[in-house]
Structure 1
């Protein structure tokens, strides 16, 4: 049996962060390749839809396309309502044991269910952190089981080795969360200029 990760805490963290985003934040850069907050929010709208289809093992136009290349689309009207609706649906879809088993499709790739679930975890955690940092919010690190971050970090290590990302150096005393952020190529100490 495949081990399922409870995505509800990270989904709730995302919704809390999104609730505090103001229109004046939308053009601010994020720690992720200087994409703006608006672009990051649109990415989250897109991936929450796509990864729900992936969990439900539905082949849809969304699962057959790469999510984004270098050019990310601008923020669509109704983004906040879309995330408020989509995130709980995504969490529910991944709460089903069958989502984590077998194979599925997402981002134009065939994936093992457990790998797609970990990708979902990473998308929620990392991009929530991106938005939180860019908008001057704290990511609620301590409200989520540290083991989730350890799972994410180990999965990121495998993915980043394949994609040759440049992890950011952190000291030996860095938290598991900061190590996960650094492994994704982000500086855990990033702040807006």
Structure 2
């Protein structure tokens, strides 16, 4: 079991700083401007909270466009995600995400990785700090190392220097993100 609160609180702080003028800015996720990244965050927080509660994911993915009050809704969704994974039973057994069955403990790591990497993506896009706890980096690292460079995998190609880097910089480089474009010093 791992405490999601530092990561979800950091992501929620960044979301609160997003202005309407930021919505069309590019992000390190090349295909997604800020608006699309926020929609993805709303989708994965709901899906992974349902998985943690061993509930079936119901309903359609969020429609294009952010709903009224999206900042508050996302803040609540991050709290909900953290609370859902804060129960030991969330980490037990097996479940499915994206059509792939895997242990819940692995799904918890995937959920945390989504919060950490996309929180950094959003912070980088709008030019604000993003604090990443070293314990979150330690939990996410084996997952990112396993899938780094995989054709059709969840990450872009690893960037030069990934093997020599450490901490959050290694995590970012292995996932195809350049820590030099974002705010550095965010490891807590």
Sort the TM-score into its range (normalised by shorter chain): 0.7 to 0.9
Other-structure match for 2:82? 91
Q: Secondary structure at the match of 1:33?
A: coil
Other-structure match for 1:16? 13
Q: Secondary structure at the match of 1:95?
A: coil
Unaligned runs of 5+ in 2: 183-188
Question: Using the alignment, how far apart are the partners of 1:47 and 1:125 within structure 2?
Answer: 12
Kindly report the root-mean-square deviation, in angstroms, between the aligned alpha carbons of the 2 structures: 2.2
Q: Secondary structure at the match of 2:58?
A: coil
Taking a change above 3 Å as real, the CA distance of residues 148 and 131 of structure 1, as seen in their structure-2 partners, is same
CA contact 1:45–1:86 (8 Å) conserved in 2: yes
Q: Map Cα deviations across residues 111-168 of structure 1 (whole Å, 9 max, x no partner).
A: 2101100011110000000000000101113xx2x13202211111113355284111
Other-structure match for 1:58? 55
Question: When the two structures are superposed, what TM-score results if normalisation uses the length of structure 1?
Answer: 0.84
Question: When the two structures are superposed, what TM-score results if normalisation uses the length of structure 2?
Answer: 0.86
Other-structure match for 1:156? 144
Question: Using the alignment, how far apart are the partners of 1:172 and 1:109 within structure 2?
Answer: 29
- After TM superposition, give the deviation of residue 172 of structure 1 in Å: 6.5
- After TM superposition, give the deviation of residue 57 of structure 1 in Å: 1.1
Question: Using the alignment, how far apart are the partners of 1:93 and 1:148 within structure 2?
Answer: 17
Unaligned runs of 5+ in 1: none
CA contact 1:14–1:124 (8 Å) conserved in 2: yes
What does residue range 113-192 of structure 1 map to in structure 2 within 5 Å? 113-141=104-132, 144=133, 146-160=134-148, 162=150, 163=153, 165-170=156-161, 174-190=165-181
CA contact 2:45–2:77 (8 Å) conserved in 1: yes
CA contact 1:57–1:105 (8 Å) conserved in 2: no
CA contact 1:42–1:79 (8 Å) conserved in 2: no
Following TM superposition, the consecutive aligned residue runs of length 4 or more in structure 1 with deviations greater than 6 angstroms are none
Question: Using the alignment, how far apart are the partners of 2:56 and 2:41 within structure 1?
Answer: 20
CA contact 2:149–2:158 (8 Å) conserved in 1: no
Question: Using the alignment, how far apart are the partners of 1:77 and 1:24 within structure 2?
Answer: 16
Q: Secondary structure at the match of 2:181?
A: coil
